[in-house]
């Protein structure tokens, strides 16, 4: 979302979540330092195969303490559990990876780059 005002990023992501349930591939580039927690909290695309996220912000709610690693890992694990067909997960911001966020038994996941 290059050139999109920061106040519009979250509504656009919420629109993608609500209106495009049959997404197969999602690549988001967000230049602004904006939190988009709805992507992990509510993102559910049964046919999603690939997701790539490039951003300067965070996928977590700013009210979740950065040091609460367990809560952040659970949020990520729940996202992966809901999107069972996911084959490739690429995320530019390595600070969003938390130990324990990979659920066991995610048979379709072939590539993980965090």
Strands of the sheet containing 25-30, edge to edge, are 25-30, 50-55, 88-91, 111-113
> What number is the average pLDDT over the span 84-93?
87
Length of the chain counted residue by residue: 114
Mean pLDDT, all residues of the chain = 82
Q: In whole angstroms, what is the distance from residue 49 CA to residue 68 CA? A: 29
pTM, full prediction = 0.81
Q: Among 3-17, 22-36, 37-51, 65-79, where is mean pLDDT lowest? A: 65-79
Question: Which tokens go with 45?
Answer: 């695309």
E runs forming strands in 1-114: 25-30, 50-55, 88-91, 111-113
Backbone angle region of 105, left / alpha / beta, with phi > 0 → left and psi within -120 to 50 → alpha: left
In this prediction, residue 5 has a pLDDT band, given cuts at 50, 70 and 90, of confident
């Amino acid at each position: 979302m290059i050139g999109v005002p920061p106040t519009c990023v979250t509504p656009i992501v919420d629109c993608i979540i609500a209106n495009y349930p049959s997404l197969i591939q999602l690549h988001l580039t967000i230049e602004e330092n904006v939190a988009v927690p709805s992507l992990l909290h509510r993102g559910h695309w049964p046919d999603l195969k690939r997701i790539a996220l490039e951003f300067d912000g965070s996928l977590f709610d700013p009210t979740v303490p950065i040091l609460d690693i367990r809560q952040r890992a659970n949020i990520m694990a729940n996202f992966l559990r809901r999107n069972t067909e996911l084959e490739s997960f690429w995320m530019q911001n390595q600070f969003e990876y938390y130990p324990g966020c990979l659920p066991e038994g995610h048979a379709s996941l072939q590539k993980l780059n965090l």
